Structure 1
């Protein structure tokens, strides 16, 4: 075994057996990426060898981590979205580092930050499938608030959400009934954390956003969303654009339909300029896919709301600049910073 980090082999072996007592851990390798601890494990079962992934809560708060395997099971049963099968989950344990869960390991490539490098036809297919998947996902459950998804045991809310295996997936204590109130929290948090190199953009972008907040002055229905639907959280066939699996359902939130689509557009377009032809193809494919599984009304304020979302989302790479691009050379970081500056300028003009 070659796991040499947080958890000893003996602990990992016990974790697997806690879920499947008849299984034996044969080999393990720690994943290079991920905020929580992730291990690729080979186990021996009565039916033969099996490849799985063991994910252990390490970074997220336990109440934020706990829903992930249950959300995956819910999605697998209620939709056609490809997700790894969940072998089992442990929500609490007296002496093992819970929560943790075991899932199947699937084929496919992770192509983090390569949306601009893949053939545009492959990205279009990925976007079309993303739209279809989000359309299905948005129809799962009946939620009454916007906010972080939690198990009912960790929330003070009942009577809304979705049931799976005797557990209720609902919205946590921080949830609010108003989409505008929730969105303003998102915007304020990001304006407050801008990287220093973008500090001069705060005032004009804040004015742009505040001028368009009236586009949220009506009721919106909360939907179960995947607000980190990007290549880094997918297993794909990079040649054809087929989505093999949608990963990382941790720290999920309920959201507003158009917001989820625009954020996914940002990821699949590689944060391209707003008039970039590649972005337009991604946007069209997302809509096309979405409308095969759900309705997408376009009220008069649809485009104004899109501008509001684009401006607020443009803050994200400016907030997480050091984390996202910290391994790049200073020359590359300067190029990336200039790209985001130009995109912000397009909106402001």
Structure 2
């Protein structure tokens, strides 16, 4: 994002002056910049693009406004959002509009790159609280739906699209056909979920307390149990090469203990979660396949890889 575009956005939306800007050490596929401003607020975050992988729409500002109004989760407030058109701007290939949003700057550090090296007690606190926040999101009655699907813009509101994509597969019929020991009573409540819930999309204090949940651009509606399985994989299973079995058991127990403070888990979940996690692996491969087909997506994935190498 060029400096003149940032200056135009800040001046028009916040009526203040942009003093400096920098990219975060880690970030999403969206074009994200940290801003230092002349007046209050003295800091903000600007994002441009960040299309939802399922619907192609930029939905994060609308999702954050919804989550911010319906829950007490620590999510950044939306300061302003809009779109810019012009020959000098890189255009969104899906719609010809270059969408942007300004968000509240939240305190804290991104634990993604240092997650494996955290003091075990700090990491377990982080994971327990992460589970609790996800449980609070899934247990919010106003964020429950009658079927799964993607989210798209409908003017200034969100609409639920018909199931289209791996995340929207209705798992209940498939699970009902499994052998009885695996079937149990799966939790197939359709709920709003984050879509990419992992340590690198959090901000934390030094003690492990979560101060922010970021990057809601791939939010969608799916079954609560499937969302729980995917999140547990990101916080526990993907780190099997670095944590011994005892530590993984501690983390898994911490995550579920936090989750079940607010949301339920049904009998047989231990047998079903491995199935959900295999489905998630296939889903992730499909997601990256979509991203790398887009030139902008390839550039931003390469930017993330370079940051990781650094």
Give the TM-score category using the shorter length.
0.7 to 0.9
Matches within 5 A, 1:47-196: 48=40, 50-57=42-49, 64-90=56-82, 92-95=83-86, 98-138=98-138, 139=140, 140-153=142-155, 167-175=156-164, 181-182=169-170
Distance 1:275 1:144, change over 3 A: farther
> Is the 8 Å Cα contact of residues 148 and 168 (structure 2) preserved in structure 1?
no
Equivalent residue, structure 1, for 2:22: 29
Task: Give the drift of 1:215.
Answer: 3.9
Aligned partner (choices 227, 235, 247) of residue 203 of structure 2:
235
Q: Supply the distance in 2 between the matched residues of 1:87 and 1:80 (Cα, whole angstroms).
A: 18
Matches within 5 A, 1:141-290: 141-153=143-155, 167-175=156-164, 181-182=169-170, 215=183, 220-237=188-205, 239-269=206-236, 271-273=238-240, 276-290=245-259
Equivalent residue, structure 2, for 1:340: none
- Please identify the structure whose Cα radius of gyration is greater: 1
TM-score (structure 2 length as normaliser): 0.75
**Residues 191-215 of structure 1, C-alpha deviations (whole Å, 9 max, x = no match):** xxxxxxxxxxxxxxxxxxx967984
Q: Supply the distance in 2 between the matched residues of 1:151 and 1:59 (Cα, whole angstroms).
A: 11
Distance 1:278 1:170, change over 3 A: farther
TM-score (structure 1 length as normaliser): 0.67
Task: Give the drift of 1:17.
Answer: 2.8
Distance 1:231 1:56, change over 3 A: same
> Is the 8 Å Cα contact of residues 53 and 102 (structure 1) preserved in structure 2?
yes
What is the total number of aligned residue pairs between the two structures?
Answer: 279
Which segment drifts farther, 279-288 or 55-64? 55-64
Q: Supply the distance in 2 between the matched residues of 1:230 and 1:152 (Cα, whole angstroms).
A: 28
Task: Give the drift of 1:150.
Answer: 1.9
What root-mean-square deviation, in Å, do the aligned CA atoms of Structure 1 and Structure 2 show?
3.9
Query: Residue 271 of structure 1 aligns to a residue in which SS?
Result: helix
> Is the 8 Å Cα contact of residues 115 and 270 (structure 1) preserved in structure 2?
no
Equivalent residue, structure 2, for 1:337: none
Q: Supply the distance in 2 between the matched residues of 1:31 and 1:113 (Cα, whole angstroms).
A: 13
Task: Give the drift of 1:248.
Answer: 0.3
Distance 1:180 1:30, change over 3 A: closer
Equivalent residue, structure 2, for 1:11: 5
Unpaired stretches in structure 1, ≥5 consecutive residues: 1-6, 154-166, 185-209, 333-349
Unpaired stretches in structure 2, ≥5 consecutive residues: 90-96, 293-300
Q: Supply the distance in 1 between the matched residues of 2:53 and 2:209 (Cα, whole angstroms).
A: 33
Q: Supply the distance in 1 between the matched residues of 2:265 and 2:22 (Cα, whole angstroms).
A: 46
Task: Give the drift of 1:224.
Answer: 0.4
Equivalent residue, structure 2, for 1:291: 260
Task: Give the drift of 1:230.
Answer: 1.0
Q: Supply the distance in 2 between the matched residues of 1:175 and 1:54 (Cα, whole angstroms).
A: 29
Equivalent residue, structure 2, for 1:308: 275
Q: Supply the distance in 2 between the matched residues of 1:109 and 1:328 (Cα, whole angstroms).
A: 16
Which segment drifts farther, 318-327 or 118-127? 318-327
